[in-house]
Amino acid sequence: MKGSVRTARRIMGRLKKGDDLLEALTRECENAGITLGEVRALGAVSRARVGYYDQTGRQYKYIEREAPQEILALVGNVSLKDGRPFVHAHIVFSDEEGRAWGGHLAEGTIVFACEFIVREYLAEEHFERRFDEETGLFLWGG
């Protein structure tokens, strides 16, 4: 990918209790017309679901926890996949004893309280996800 990338705007907000975290972040980007950017968030969830990519089997395996947890950090990016904004995020939680765990944010993580920031970027070329034969993942095209 060639060309310049520059910062445009930031949006900040709070998600609703009961929202699916990944779906709500994607919706915020869609509503704001953001197709390239970075995402950060913190807060708490009532249920968590994360994925781990099995590199040998070339598929995601999921871990689910039905318990209140703190979001220690959520970092990710926004790009296009199939012509729509796509949020790719990793997340770290802590449980009631302060133990940390995390992975690839998956649908099924339910918000208790969440504050987010999305920083939009503008680029000369689109950052679009395409299937990568070598890894089996949808990565930024090249």
**pLDDT averages per 10-residue partition of the chain, 142 residues:** 77 98 98 96 98 95 97 97 95 96 98 98 86 91 66
Asked whether the whole model's pTM tops 0.85, one would answer: yes
* pLDDT at 142 (0 to 100): 54
Report domain extents, the chain. 12-140
pLDDT at residue number 38: 97
Q: What is the pLDDT of residue 123?
A: 86
Structure token digits, residue 98: 């302060």
Report the Cα–Cα distance between both ends of the chain, in Å, rounded: 6
| Domain 12-140 classification at class level | alpha beta
> Which helix or strand (DSSP H or E) is residue 85 part of?
strand 84-94
Rounded CA-CA distance 8/81 in Å is 21
Structure tokens belonging to residue 17 = 């209790």
Calpha distance 135→125 (Å, rounded): 23
Cβ(129)–Cβ(140) below 8 Å: yes
Q: How far apart are CA 67 and CA 65, in angstroms?
A: 6
